[in-house]
Amino acid sequence: MSEGVRNLQAALATITHPWQPHRLVSINDYDVKVVKLQGEFVWHTHPDTDELFLVISGDLTIQLRDGDVTLGPGDVYVVPKGVEHCPVAAAEVEAVLIEPTGTVNTGDAGGEMTSELRELE
């Protein structure tokens, strides 16, 4: 494999715990993160940035105060900055997130589900 090439499926296969994002690559001032999701996350906002979700496998519901958004494999949704949301996955979901470098997964909520961005092995 060429230097700098990352395989999405291989990266996802290394993740063993949900809600712990791993950096796949960085581009400019953004991180492309891979993550597995299962269960309910916390309600939170990212006051200064949008957040892109791309579902690779499984079904993800993004709860919003004015109605839910349901995503399946291949679906993309952008949560606008400042919009309170809560991802929920009844079964395991594999996803890609794109956010500015330094974005905390729990946004303004903090708490025990906050996870440092991990580097892939």
CATH code of 83's domain:
2.60.120.10
Q: What is the mean pLDDT of the chain?
A: 94
Arithmetic mean of pLDDT, 8-17: 96
Give the pTM.
0.93
pLDDT for residue 4: 81
Tell me whether residue 52 is in a domain.
yes
Q: List, in sequence order, every residue forming a beta bridge with 75; answer none if it has no partner.
A: none
Tell me whether residue 117 is in a domain.
no
pLDDT for residue 1: 42
**65-113 pLDDT tens trace:** 999 999 999 999 999 999 999 999 999 999 999 999 999 898 899 999 9
Task: Calculate what percentage of the chain has a pLDDT beyond 70.
Answer: 98
Tell me whether residue 110 is in a domain.
no
Total domains in the chain come to 1
